[in-house]
Each structure stands twice: as structure tokens, then as C-alpha cells.
Amino acid sequence: MAAFSRIRGALLTFEGGEGAGKSTLIARLAERLVAEAGLAPADIIRVREPGGTALGEGIREILKRPEAAICPEAEALLFTACRAELVNQVIRPALAAGKVVLCDRYADSTVAYQQGGRGLPADLVASANRLACGDTAPALTVLLDLDPALGLARASRRDSGKPDRLESLDLAFHRRVREAYLALASAHPARFLTLDAAQPPEAVAESLWHEVARRFR
């Protein structure tokens, strides 16, 4: 474990559009951290947004509900409320204990979806994220980049053809989300690792592992 000591207390976030494969990649990375980096399973905390707390899971159900009519401003506030609870109740205590936190979506999702996709003002989104996250920032953000049409097709197979509220939005929305993600990665190259999610999952996982080893070993 000494070789990977720098990964203790690190927050790694995973971003991307629908069907990009974040959950699969997180699972593969967690397995490899145990097998090759010497971490115990208890050293790795896996969380998701929205969710990860009792409040977050309750709000997740509302946000995912296909028939829910939610205005963009309320949508952004619901996502950031989930995030604030997750940061305070789970992420910060885990990082303080020296654990590695692998988070499926974080603040960049609100920038991509509610600012890029919905068109909310950047200053308001930034303020909401600052309130939710404070100074709890990722050491590495992995962006799984994928053509939205392919991602939505993947998501429909995964969900047995029943898209949730965001998956059911038109392709133009999801293209704006992708553009916003790519702009974030371009603006923060030291934090972001952008991977081609059209590759086989094994290839994506291998590219991520090389970067994790480079940064934290």
C-alpha cells in the first residue's frame, strides 16, 4: 500500500452522459485498487449522485420519475441539495479518515446538465455548487465521453426500454450536455482525464488505471 499512499483521502469523480459506463468503470477501479494497490475493501467508499444518503435517495426517486414536472431551477436545487447532504454526511468524513471516495457524478454534472443542457446562468450554478461542496474538490475527474445517440441506446437496453426523466429528453439536450462536459475538461486539464467511452470497457478501465498509477503511486 505504501506505493499508493497518495491516494488515501482522495476524491475521484466520474462524469459523462447517459449510458457512458460510469458504474462499470467505478466497479473495475475499486477491484483493482484492492488487488493491485493494496487497499482493503473498507478503504474504498463508492457513492452516487443523486443519492448516497437517506435524503439523497428520496430526492433521486423524484428526479428520476418520468412523469415529474420540475422546472430547471428546482431541478438544480434538488441536485445540489442531495450533494450538500452527501458531502457533509459521507464524503468529508470518509476523506478525513483517509479513505478513497469514488463518486458517480459530482458538481460538474450540474454544470453540464443544468447549465449546459437547461441553460441556467453560470454564476447561479457556480454559487449552488459552492454552497453544496465548499472546498471538497476532486483530485481527479474522469470524463467518459460518448456520442449521446449511442449512450441513450445503451441506457435504453440497460433500463429495459424505460427511460427516466432526463434520459427521455431530446437528443439536442444531450448534445449540449456533452459540449458542456468537453468545455469543462478543456478548461481544467490538470483535473480531468477524458476517455473514449465507445471503446470496450476493458480498454477504458486500463487507460484509467494507468492514469491512477501515474498520479497516485
Predicted pLDDT of residue 21: 95
Residue ranges of domains in the chain: 2-216
Task: Give 139-198 pLDDT, tens digit per residue.
Answer: 999 999 999 999 999 988 775 557 889 999 999 999 999 999 999 999 999 999 999 999
- Bond preceding residue 50 cis, omega within 30 of 0: yes
CB-based contacts of 51, cutoff 8 Å, min separation 6: 57, 60, 82, 86
Q: Give the HSE-up count for residue 134: Cα atoms under 13 Å, Cβ half-sphere.
A: 8
Burial (CB < 10 A; 0-12, 13-18, 19+), residue 80, is: buried
Would you say the pTM of this structure is higher than 0.85? yes
Reported confidence tier of residue 4, pLDDT bands at 50, 70, 90: confident
The amino acid that residue 137 corresponds to is: A
Stretch 80-103: mean pLDDT: 98
Percent of the chain with pLDDT over 90: 89
- Asked whether residue 105 carries a pLDDT value surpassing 50, the answer given is yes
> Facing residues of 103 across strands?
13, 47
29 and 146 Cβ atoms separated by less than 8 Å: no
Q: What angle do CA 6, 9, 15 make, to 5 degrees?
A: 100
Residue 1, pLDDT score: 45
Question: 2-216, what's its fold?
Answer: Rossmann fold (3.40.50)
Give the helix ranges, DSSP H, for the chain: 22-36, 54-64, 72-86, 92-96, 107-110, 122-133, 148-158, 171-187, 201-216
